[in-house]
Amino acid sequence: MPVLTRLIPSPVVVDIRPGALDDLATILSDQRIAPSGRLAFAISAGSGQALRDRFAPAFPEADWFCDADGTIDGAVRLADSIKKGGHYDAVVGLGGGKVIDCAKYAAARVGLPLVAVATNLANDGLCSPVATLDNDAGRGSYGVPNPIGIVIDLDVIREAPVRFVRAGIGDVICKISAVADWELSHRENGEQVDGLAAAMARQAAEAVLRHPGGVGEDTFLTTLSEALVLCGISMSVAGDSRPASGACHEISHAFDLSFPKRSALHGEQCGLGGAFATFLRGDHETAGHMAEVLHRHGLPVLPEEIGFSLDEFVQVVKFAPKTRPGRYTILEHLDLSADQIRDAYADYAKAIGS
């Protein structure tokens, strides 16, 4: 008998709306998440205290851990603390991307499901099967299970620094470039493309790209939140980060590794990298549209807008393929010299500025 369906890891709860955190106790009492009500909350040592003060009375059986600092060492400490704390039904990562990534890694390490309660929308990590954590070598990506639940309170998102919301726009829009890189690798190398994963990532990006609203509107924040969730699930469908990460992410990783003290937010770098990679691919119309939307939302489209010179950007693009050995993108396909990158960038800057 042929296999007619496949199982796709995905959250059992996705709650995106204003006021969602007011119902957090009800959401987390779902028998699929916490049948006994024993929860381990992971928060940051700083701003996490205000969240603890707000929610601790509603969760008398919960324990709170402040080890989620965005590092691999912090994630290991968090896992050890949870293990010593006793029996829990689930881990709840309550905070921004660093907190959630720490919580994802710790939950995987102790074998518990994770609920991600996001306080900003800086990147697609809130629902991805990847935890990005700082380590001694810079920054690493670690495979983890998808969160079992996603809670995004739009009232809280509006209170977050606007830069952290705009960054999520860049991380979503760049999926247009990432999927195109995947399809390029299929044509050139025969790499298998998962059509469902590609469709999810591309449509999520298109929804944000074509939305007329901005970060101050609930309709736009809902679309952005849903897009980030779908991009995360697309990686689970594919079995790796391919639908969400191509030359755009190679460029972002190269910024992080080449200039660790100066790099911008992940989504800011990915948006810029995605627009430039799309231009390199010869799709100048789409690259121009991406740059136009990024600019409208206050995101960088030129390296100078995040404090990098042309020479530094050329260095970043030249180094970018080394950040993901084995991944084939437009950068590997063209294998540009430094002078060719410089010329291509001049054409890109002229095209998006005209």
Q: Where are the alpha helices (DSSP H) in the chain?
A: 24-28, 48-55, 72-85, 97-110, 154-159, 162-173, 175-189, 195-209, 218-238, 247-258, 266-280, 284-296, 310-319, 330-334, 338-353
- The CA distances from residue 169 to 47, 123, 172, 297, in Å, are 24, 8, 5, 8
Find, among 173, 223, 222, the residue nearest to 202 by Cα: 173
Q: Read out DSSP for 210-264?
A: T----TTSHHHHHHHHHHHHHHHHHHHHHTSSGGG-SHHHHHHHHHHHH-TTT--
The Cα 206–Cα 231 span in angstroms is 12
**Helix axis angle, 97-110 relative to 72-85, nearest 10°?**
50
Give the annotated binding-site residues.
97-101, 124, 128, 171, 249, 266
Give the annotated binding-site residues for glycerol.
124, 171, 249, 266
45 contact partners, CB below 8 Å, separation of at least 6: 66, 67, 69
The Cα 28–Cα 20 span in angstroms is 12
Compute the Cα dihedral for 222, 161, 118, 268 and give only its sign. Answer: positive
Give the annotated binding-site residues for NAD(+).
97-101, 128
The residues that bridge with 152 in the sheet, in sequence order, are 16, 118
The Cα 111–Cα 83 span in angstroms is 10
Find, among 257, 286, 273, 266, the residue nearest to 330 by Cα: 273
Token pair for residue 78? 């968090």
- Kindly report the number of other CB atoms within 10 A of residue 81's CB atom: 17
